[in-house]
């Protein structure tokens, strides 16, 4: 089983299989991920609609957490 993708800052953010699929598509940072449209991401081998939803949900939660920390300051 995949546990860690060398050189990816997405390790620990997403499931290892998702990080591996993103790395296969040349995406190893949040910035690279945010720059891609969902239809482009779905063309990456091993990245289907379920993993895309995981990515969207995780990014939404991280954005929400950041906004809460800023408003609490």
HEC secondary structure over the chain: CCCCCCCCCCECCECHHHHHHHHHCCCCCHHHHHCCCHHHHCCCCCCCHHHHHHHHHHHHHHHHHHHHHHHHC
Name residues whose C-beta falls within 8 Å of residue 49's C-beta, 6 or more positions apart in sequence.
42
- Collapsing DSSP to helix, strand or coil, 34 comes out as helix
* Interval 14-72: pLDDT, tens: 999 999 999 999 999 999 999 999 999 999 999 999 999 999 999 998 887 777 778 77
Question: Token pair for residue 38?
Answer: 């969902």
Put simply, whether the predicted model's pTM sits higher than 0.85 gets the answer no
């Amino acid at each position: 089983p995949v546990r860690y993708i060398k050189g990816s800052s997405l390790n620990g953010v997403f499931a290892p299989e998702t990080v591996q699929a993103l790395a296969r598509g040349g995406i190893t940072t949040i910035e690279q991920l945010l720059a891609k449209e969902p239809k482009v991401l779905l063309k990456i081998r091993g990245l289907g609609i379920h993993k895309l939803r995981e990515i969207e949900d995780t990014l939404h939660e991280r954005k929400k957490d950041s906004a809460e920390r800023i408003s609490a300051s």
